[in-house]
Amino acid sequence: MPTEPYDLVIRGGTIGTSEGRFEADLAIKGEKIAAIGQGLAAGTKEIDARGKFVLPGGVDAHAHIEQLSSGGVMNADTFESATASAAFGGTTTVMPFAAQNRGLDLRKVMDDYAALARRGAMIDYAFHMIIANPDAKTLETDLPALIAEGHASIKVFMTYDLIKIDDEPLLDLLLTARHGQALVCVHAENHGMISWMSKQLLAKGYVAPKYHAISHPRGSEAEAFTRLIAAATLVDQPIMIFHVSTEEGAAVIREARGRGIKVFAETCPQYLFLTRHDLDKPGMEGAKWMCSPPPREKADQDALWRALALGDLQTVSSDHAPYRFDETGKLSAGPNANFKQIANGLPGLETRLPLLFDALVTRGRPEFPERGLEAFVELTATAPARIYNLAGKGAIRPGYDADIAIWDPDRRVTITQAAMHSLTGFTPFEGMTVTGWPERVMVRGRDVVADGKLTASPGSGRWLARKGGPAALPTGRLTADMDPATNFGASIL
């Protein structure tokens, strides 16, 4: 029986997975990877990938897109510009936020963000729901319904005046998530320490952007991690700690994981490649490197690489938070704003993968001997797809979506704003030279970027409905306070 030819065969490339690498052909039929092997039959179209790496497109699980900050500052990127920028850097799935600021109705917020994404996105996406208004309607009606509809993760902030969640509502949210089997992602820093330190600095005239770096004291991270983990343990609810920046923070996570607590964690390129000294620039220039938590020290970078290698941290996300260096973004409070009035955040969707490819694959990190490519695929695609339960994403495997980035491992690129596709107007990685860049990127078998050009149309990205999956399942091990066998029979969970 003659069979239909494959739609596309990518021939002779080095296929990279989180487990290993091998030379093979890869065939695509429709939207899926149909076969991987030697000497596959001809495709209607063929790509010669000899000398290239054929890798799963990146999954960026933390990016702010077309989002209004709690302070009322709008992101520079639309879904269209952000997802184009992501694709140029090899990313094919992104997880932005639907941000319920205080006083807002969650259902309406979700509808609004979903409409923006439907219109603009060129790569596939799933949302985290930011909850800053945990009122009865949100907790009892909207959140359970939206989780059940396929939005299986929540994001909460333990700091920022306008959106922070205190310990008691945090427990409410953890319990609501447990009932819906959704993962809870957290921006965890001690609010009081940051607020107090900021006031001390400003009162003494230390207003320049660089003081932002010390206004988030190192210990504010470890303290909030410890408190968050205690709350999650009480409720037996899995958590994901976002953007770990310090060695002490990573150590808190390691200790908790050692006790069998279900805590996942990410870091970001800004904590692996930048330090607080990058904020120390003349005038307002340092604002371009302002993000929260701030970049720390070289010793923290090394500690975070070790934590990634040990599995204490499982993913590297961009935390893309694009604010322009002008009155529409960073300088919305004027050209002489103090550090507390400057929007926090950096663009990073496009540079995340090239920076990590260069570090792990091209140069090699000592923490990942002989397995830099595998670690790159695991940390940037396979692990986030697994943890956030994105079915068919994040790996090269028959039956999976044909989300593929073909990398030229020899292409040397100096990162410059002129070459970026985000609307932010600057990149904090300006001037860094990397070797290795994705030259062709496809989502479900369709080219999004080819020959240096964008070939997808706005709205071609697809929303990924998902349940919480294994990562979001409670352990079932209850603390003595919560276990009816030991708490006088009180049934709380």
Which residues sit at the interface with Mn ion, rule CB under 5 A?
Answer: 187, 319
Tell me the C-alpha distance between 126 and 62, whole Å: 10
320 or 421: whose CB is closer to Mn ion? 320
Nearest CA-CA partner of 152 in 109, 212, 211, 98: 98
Q: For tokens 């409070």, what's the residue?
A: 333
241 or 360: whose CB is closer to Mn ion? 241
Tell me the C-alpha distance between 177 and 144, whole Å: 8
| Least separation in angstroms between CB 445 and Mn ion | 31
Biggest distance spanned by C-alpha atoms of the chain: 82
Tell me the C-alpha distance between 347 and 60, whole Å: 13
Q: Provide the β-strand partners of residue 46.
A: 9
Nearest CA-CA partner of 207 in 277, 274, 276, 287: 287
151 or 320: whose CB is closer to Mn ion? 320
| Least separation in angstroms between CB 15 and Mn ion | 32
| Least separation in angstroms between CB 187 and Mn ion | 4
187 or 365: whose CB is closer to Mn ion? 187
| Least separation in angstroms between CB 302 and Mn ion | 23
Q: Is 351 exposed, middle or buried (0-12, 13-18, 19+ CB in 10 A)?
A: buried
| Least separation in angstroms between CB 192 and Mn ion | 17
Nearest CA-CA partner of 153 in 56, 283, 258, 62: 62
Centre a 10 Å sphere on the Cβ of residue 205 and count the other Cβ atoms it contains: 9
Instruction: Provide the H-helix boundaries in 344-420.
Output: 352-357, 372-377, 383-387
321 or 381: whose CB is closer to Mn ion? 321
Tell me the C-alpha distance between 448 and 313, whole Å: 30
Q: Provide the β-strand partners of residue 407.
A: 53, 438
* Cβ-contact 428, 274 below 8 angstroms: yes
| Least separation in angstroms between CB 436 and Mn ion | 26
How many residues are present in the chain? 493
* Whole-number CA gyration radius for the chain: 22
Q: Provide the β-strand partners of residue 315.
A: 266
187 or 324: whose CB is closer to Mn ion? 187
Nearest CA-CA partner of 437 in 477, 404, 410, 402: 410
* Cβ-contact 480, 487 below 8 angstroms: yes
Residue 166's SS3 state is coil
53 or 127: whose CB is closer to Mn ion? 127
| Least separation in angstroms between CB 25 and Mn ion | 39
Closest residue to Mn ion, based on beta-carbon distance = 187
128 or 324: whose CB is closer to Mn ion? 128
8 or 241: whose CB is closer to Mn ion? 241
Q: For tokens 């890798």, what's the residue?
A: 55
| Least separation in angstroms between CB 421 and Mn ion | 20
16 or 249: whose CB is closer to Mn ion? 249
Tell me the C-alpha distance between 264 and 37, whole Å: 34
| Least separation in angstroms between CB 135 and Mn ion | 23
| Least separation in angstroms between CB 319 and Mn ion | 4
